[in-house]
Amino acid sequence: MHIKQVEELILQSLEHEMGGVQIYTVAVSCAVNSDLKEEWQKYLAQTKTHVTKLEAVCQSLEIDAKQETPGRKVVRHVGGALVEAMKMAAAAGDPAAAELVACECVVLAETKDHADWELIAKCAEHLTGPKAAALEQASDEVEDEEDEHLYHTKGWCRELWLKSLGMTAVLPPPEERQHVKTAIGAARAEQASEKTR
């Protein structure tokens, strides 16, 4: 294991979760659908908890949580760009279009988030002692939430796009109704929704 790169992963993940708080704050303000707004409010609260968990991981691994790295700066920049994209869409005056942009921004953010937490779990498998325990505990507590964030929001994005295109949409999406938390479950939910169109 390259411990310095593990530290980089943790710092980037922390930065990404901190940016996620900003992303969800703006996304909630862009949500038109009340079910989506409620879901994103829940995800915002969970993301704040993820920040706290990663700060605890930093403490356990003796990483300075405020340490600046080039990768962390990039993560902050990308998160800021997603926030700006949503604000730009909201300012254009079409609430439905802004909601779609917010959905896409959340999917992009959650894709990286999901990958980060998968990597954290892999690191836990290859480390030993207290470091492994800290990473394993954090990933065990967060993994299902991250799966839900990604797969449910992808479903919302697909269905809202279909609605905007004048096609039959299933809202809330099947991923939401079926409480999907795996890629296989998401694929099955999407296939099931096709049968109802």
Residue range 160-187, pLDDT digits in tens = 999 999 999 999 998 988 888 888 888 8
- For the entire predicted model, the pTM comes to 0.94
pLDDT digits (tens, 9 = 90+) for 7-30: 999 999 999 999 999 999 999 999
| 21-58: b (≥16 Cβ within 10 Å) or e | ebbbbbbbebbebeebbebbeebbebbeebbebbbebb
Query: How many alpha carbons lie under 13 Å from residue 83 in its C-beta half-sphere?
Result: 16
